[in-house]
Amino acid sequence: MDLYRAHVLVCCGTGCTSSQSGKIIENLEKELTAQGLSREVKVVKTGCFGLCAEGPIMVVYPEGVMYYRVSPDDVTEIVSEHFLKGRPVARLMTVQTAVPLDQARNVEESDFFKKQLRVALRNCGSINPESIEEYIAHDGYLALGKVLTEKMAPLDVINEVKKSGLRGRGGGGFPTGLKWEFAARQQNEQKYVCCNADEGDPGAFMDRSILEGDPHSVIEAMAIAGYAIGANQGYIYVRAEYPIAVQRLKLAIGQAKAYGLLGERVFGSEFSFDIEIRLGAGAFVCGEETALMRSIEGKRGNPTPRPPFPAVKGLFDKPTILNNVETFANIPVIFQKGADWFASLGTDKSKGTKVFALGGKVSNVGLVEIPMGTTVREIVFDIGGGIPNNKAFKAVQTGGPSGGCIPAKLLDTPIDYDNLIAVGSMMGSGGMIVMDEDTCMVDIAKFFLEFTVDESCGKCAPCRIGTRRMLEVLEKITGGTGTMEDLEALERLAVGIKEGSLCALGQTAPNPVLSTLKHFREEYVEHVTEKRCRCGVCKGLTQYFILTDLCKMCGLCAKRCPVGCISGVLGKEPFVIDTAKCIKCGACMQACKFKAVVKR
Amino acid sequence: MGSTKTKTHDEQVTLLEQVIAKYQGQGRKALMQVLQEAQAIYGYLPLDVQRTVADGLGVSVAEVYGVITFYSFFSLNPKGAFEVSVCLGTACYVKGSQAILEKIEEELHIKAGECTPDGKFSINACRCIGACGLAPVIMVNEDVYGRLTPDQIPAILAKYKEA
Ligand SMILES: Cc1cc2nc3c(=O)[nH]c(=O)nc-3n(C[C@H](O)[C@H](O)[C@H](O)COP(=O)(O)O)c2cc1C
Ligand code: FES
């Protein structure tokens, strides 16, 4: 084996690949060869480091220097300066977001990483996900080996998971060990282990990053689960929109089989386990467990009533367990470091860590993993670097279309399953979207309702019809014809939908409306009584005006107006907008160089 | 997904037959995979393809149609030579992707879900393509454009209009 003096890690996750990390690697390899350094400096493709907004990202070890927003053209300079002359390129080491990340020169020192604890993401960004050898070198397959070669009884495996306190990371937070125990108790020749990699919450990419950055951890965990419940077949249901993840999973499954870590007689034991991949096809409801199993069976993804629970009668009517990607990614560590270690992290009822995809109006957009019990404030302001452009914080949305908005006064809520439900939101799978003063909360509620109306499978009436009625009411309010009775109607409908729907999609669909009604009622009232949207988002309520004292009478706005509703006299009289004719396209506002056009 | 332009009709038929042969024994269990591969061949799933798949796997055309219309990934209509996918996921939405979509609709004179008369462009409003760090994001076929503002749209589209 060659001994390299330096390793360059380049992120090849979806975000960074979109900004040309593939080309960067190509250039790096060319340049290193040209400079005769190819045996001294090793280029490693890795998964996500977490700091997606600053991508493409490159880290150089042993120094731990991190480069941000590297372009393929920067490579020559990095190689000649850093690798040849040992002078890191300072220009690429600072972050460009409004609030500087940190001036720290070292990865682990920066604020972004200091408050994080990487358990599920332990290997993401530090190993090459396309190499099983690197996974093994980082204690990979140790847990599976221990379970099989030390001949742990399946029940002991389950007890270890129960003792760790691990709860499902896919949204519901059901205790994982308990789920496995139910399935293990069933007497059946054929059982299945499924992995939920459908990741339906729009704006969340935790599971994708794990699959892209550390696919073997999920494969290893599924095999452990298979041994524990007595299954020898696994399925990974993954979104077709995640081509890189699918390709890495396929590669990883092939490698694991070649090494005898998957397939017939794993580790030479009596236990055999195989995994197949199934692609989702863009239906949010297929993230729901019964719908997902119908989809694997090749049917429409309609949920089915529970009971019978999947542990009794699941995929192809056989006992089945389904766990989320991140849940699985935690399993190998529990066996490596012990259930007690895992249980020492987090809060009383929520053990371990949680990965969040931090996005929206926050400086450091990316992937973060924190111990349970960290406060929302710490995530948004310490790790996330706060709100860009000196805007004020308004809310954080968690739980996606099933969750709710957490307002500023609850920023100090420690994050765990129960606390988030108590404040009217939920953990969800880990999407965390930050909103600032410019985000209209009524519009956001409408956004999520449009989503559920679109994604409702249509099987049960409360969800199919009820969500549509709620959306109509919201459209009325944002369009300027809402009444105070409409607010009550929303609350009434919400109760009916929550109680009457067949699956959790409908049961949770009213949450975004209820939580915004609770915490931001004044915005709803303003829309109704004053016909005003304070953020200027709801088109039906906004009007454009020209401020007379700022108008330089240049007439540029009138020239751009597609409907000719702006009049004035060039150089003599300030221009005015005829609000009755205005179609609110905003062209005048973009045209004006003097900021004289305003909307309110 | 492979390019649809380079294949003749006969080639497409042969490819589809191969796909069906591969999954034949599995019946309806394999329906999703067969449809996914069929769409990769044709670019969409017209009625005669649905019939072939239904016959091949021994399920009814109604069932095939039911599955296709349930999943948004499957399309009954041809897409443009350049498919412009605009992400309307939450992360992109709060960063103004609605305005991006409106600008694209205005530039191409079509709405989301439609195709231009010359078959060159179609617009697809999609949800989270997983590049939230670059929000707001659009994709033109495989090319990703991030950190966008509406005024960048005309220049991006122009590149493809000339192609
Ligand atoms: C409408 C709906 C969508 C869901 N989407 C997902 C998803 O995308 N990913 C996921 O892991 N779980 C999702 N779930 C939760 C799953 O039904 C299931 O509880 C979970 O995958 C179980 O795994 P866990 O115990 O490891 O969390 C969804 C549930 C509902 C009702
Ligand atoms: S929300 Fe647009 S890429 Fe994720």
How is chain B split into domains, by residue range?
Answer: 2-70, 82-161
Res. A1: pLDDT tops 70: no
- Give the pLDDT score at A95: 62
Question: Order of strands across the sheet with A274-279?
Answer: A274-279, A233-238, A192-197, A320-324
A6-98: CATH class: alpha beta
Return the pLDDT at A51: 81
- Which residue has better confidence, A195 or A564? A195
Low-confidence ranges of chain B (pLDDT < 70): 1-6
Cα–Cα distance, A324 to A213 (Å, whole number):
16
| Domain at A132-342: CATH architecture | 3-Layer(aba) Sandwich (3.40)
Beta bridge partners, B87, equal B126
Distance of CA A266 to the CA centre of its chain: 33
Interchain contact, A397 vs B90, CB within 8 Å: yes
Instruction: Please provide the size of chain A in residues.
Output: 600
Residues 6+ apart with CB under 8 A from A207: A197, A199, A324, A325, A326, A429
Around ligand 2, the residues with Cβ closer than 6 Å are A 202-203; B 87, 89-92, 128-132, 135, 137
In degrees and rounded to multiples of 5, residue A212 shows phi and psi of -75, -35
- Of A284 and A86, the structure prediction assigns the larger pLDDT to A284
Which ligand is closest to the CA of A205, given by its number? 2
pLDDT per residue as tens digits for the range A390-419 = 999 999 999 999 999 999 999 999 999 999
pLDDT of residue A98: 34
Q: Which CATH number fits domain A543-599: 3.50.50.60, 3.40.50.2000, 3.30.70.20, 3.40.50.720?
A: 3.30.70.20
Chain B residues near residue A280 by CB distance under 8 angstroms: 71, 73
Q: What pLDDT score was predicted for residue A102?
A: 42
| pLDDT score of A107 more than 80 | no
Kindly state the average pLDDT of the residues A449-472. Answer: 95
Query: What percentage of residues in chain B have a pLDDT greater than 70?
Result: 96
Amino acid making up residue A423:
V
Q: Which listed ligand is nearest to A201 at the C-alpha?
A: 1
Angstrom CA distances, A65 to A42, A103, A540, stand at 15, 12, 50
SS3 A151: coil
Task: Tell me the sheet residues that pair with A8.
Answer: A43, A60
Classified by CATH at the fold level, domain A353-436 comes out as Ubiquitin-like (UB roll) (3.10.20)
* Model pLDDT, residue B73: 87
Residue whose pair of structure tokens reads 């009411």 in the numeric block: A473
Has residue A228 got a pLDDT over 80?
yes
What stretch(es) of chain A map to CATH 3.40.50.11540? Answer: 132-342
- The third-level CATH classification (topology) of the domain covering B82-161 is Glutaredoxin (3.40.30)
- Give kind and range of the element (H or E) at residue B94: helix B90-94
Per residue in B35-75, pLDDT (tens digit) is 999 999 998 999 999 999 999 999 999 999 999 999 988 98
> Is residue B82 classed as helix, strand or coil in its secondary structure?
strand
Which residues are registered as beta bridge partners of A577? Answer: A566
Q: How many Cβ atoms from other residues are within 10 Å of residue B47's Cβ?
A: 11
> How many whole angstroms separate alpha carbon A450 and alpha carbon A164?
39
d(CA A347, CA A151): 32
List residues near ligand 1 (CB under 6 A). A 168-172, 174, 196, 198-200, 284-285, 287-289, 322-324, 327, 429, 503-505
Among candidate residues A303, A332, A295, A136, the one with its CA nearest the CA of residue A218: A332
CB A209 within 8 A of CB A48: yes
Asked whether the beta carbons of residue A590 and residue B151 sit closer than 8 angstroms, the reply is yes
Contacts of B134 in chain A (CB under 8 A): 15, 18-19, 52-53, 55
Is A105's pLDDT higher than 50?
Answer: no
Q: Quickly name the fold that domain A441-530 has.
A: de novo design (two linked rop proteins) (1.20.1440)
Domain ranges in chain A with CATH number 3.30.70.20? 543-599
Confidence of residue A330 (pLDDT cuts 50, 70, 90): very high
pLDDT of residue B2: 40
Low-confidence winner among A64-73, A271-280, A329-338, A400-409 (lowest mean pLDDT): A64-73
State chain A's mean pLDDT as an integer. Answer: 92
A361: closest CA among B130, B146, B95, B90?
B95
pLDDT in tens, A371-394: 999 999 999 999 999 999 999 999
Mean pLDDT of A7-17: 86
Instruction: Calculate mean pLDDT across residues A103-124.
Output: 75
Q: What number is the average pLDDT over the span A160-176? A: 96
Q: How far apart are CA A489 and CA A475, in angstroms?
A: 13
Average pLDDT score over residue span A516-545:
92
Is the complex ipTM higher than 0.95? no
Q: A371 with A342: CB under 8 angstroms?
A: no
What are the residue ranges of CATH 3.10.20.600 in chain A? 353-436
